[in-house]
A = this chain, B = another copy of it.
Amino acid sequence: MNAPLRTTVSELGELELLARILGRIGSPTEGDRWSGDDTAVLRWPHDRLLVTTDMMVQGIDFELTYATGADIGWKAVSINASDIAAMGACPTHAVAAVGLPPETELAFVDDLMDGIIEAASRYGVALVGGDLSAAREISIAIAMLGTAGEPILRTGARAGDAICVTGFLGGAAAGLVALRQGMPVAPPVDALMRRQLRPEARVEAGAVLAAIGPTAMIDLSDGLAVDLGHLLDPGDLGCEIEPGAIPIQPGIDAVDGLDPLETAVLGGEDFELLFTLDPAKVDQAASELSSQGVNMSQIGEVTAGEARLGERSLEEWRRKGWEHLRTP
């Protein structure tokens, strides 16, 4: 445990590295067995099980020029927790498969584990196992389990439902541009960067909403224009979205070349919850979320017609997104 932090993964060796990481994992709940065997063994006193997986890859989902190990670990856990939150469910356990180049410094691995453990603790998730592999690029694939009473699916929206969203949109995409441009970490841009590097999964908000009963729900990972489309699938539903009602993250106009509305509509990775709701329940949802400190906005309604956002169809917005904002 006392290896200098500049020591690399290959100098330390796999067994020592594993021992170092396992030392960071908490003790299993009574009756469980977590790491140290062929699989984790969990008691499961629920009749339903949710499972999801999301992977982050160096050079695609993050760059070491702007993201620390702790940022990467935090985000890898949060994006999985966000998928569970979008079912109105409760995340419980996770396993992590990590690919590390042999020249990776121990300090980075410790930092990555810090971020994973910090986020797991934030969401009440137990990290119960994992796998380490050598690789040429850093990657982390987390699989997460959760429980739910009645999960809120993506399907179920009805014409006349209100379309609502938590929080503010566009911040994570703007933060990514600011990070890539190497902008100084100062207000208002630092808050955007934080939304990119340290997204918060809306787990508590998802649970509050599940009790109220949205007709459909999804988390905003690919951006409003794309993810709203999923709620309207298989295509017999449309929408009218009022651009002025979209809660745009403040400060986006401080980043060169970004239009705030376009960034809020097309930018991904905000991990806010987008949901459809009986209009009679909108005030209750806003009030209960507000008492949790979570902003909620009604941005439009589900229709039986075309899917429109302001002057454009959702399809036109999506095409614009592919041209403008998509990163390779």
Contacts and interface: CB of A to CB of B under 8 A. Distances in A.
Interface of A: 33, 36-57, 59-61, 83-84, 86-87, 89, 93, 95-99, 102, 128-131, 133-137, 139, 141, 143, 145-146, 148, 151, 153-155, 217-219, 328
A55 B93 contact: no
A51 B40 contact: yes
Contacts of A60: 133-135
A215 to B, nearest CB: 14
13 contacts: A33-B153, A38-B83, A38-B217, A43-B49, A52-B95, A52-B129, A55-B141, A57-B136, A60-B135, A97-B143, A134-B328, A137-B137, A139-B141
Contacts of A146: 39
A51 B39 contact: yes
Nearest to A322: B13
Contact of A44 (B49, B52, B217): B49
A134 B155 CA distance: 27
Given A51-B93, A154-B36, A154-B37, A135 B137 contact: yes
A90 B275 CA distance: 37
A262 B78 CA distance: 45
B95 A55 contact: no
Contacts of A96: 53
Given A128-B51, A135-B60, A141-B141, A148 B41 contact: yes
A48 B42 contact: yes
Given A39-B87, A87-B41, A154-B38, A51 B145 contact: yes
Contact of A53 (B43, B52, B95, B134): B95
Contacts of A99: 55, 57, 139
A134 B154 CA distance: 25
Given A37-B151, A51-B95, A136-B136, 17 more contacts: A37-B87, A38-B84, A39-B151, A40-B51, A41-B151, A42-B50, A51-B128, A51-B143, A52-B129, A53-B141, A55-B99, A57-B99, A57-B136, A59-B135, A131-B141, A139-B141, A141-B141
Contacts of A37: 87, 151, 153-155
A40 to B, nearest CB: 5
Nearest to A145: B51
Contacts of A217: 38
A130 B143 CA distance: 9
Given A42-B48, A139-B139, A53 B154 contact: no
A205 to B, nearest CB: 14
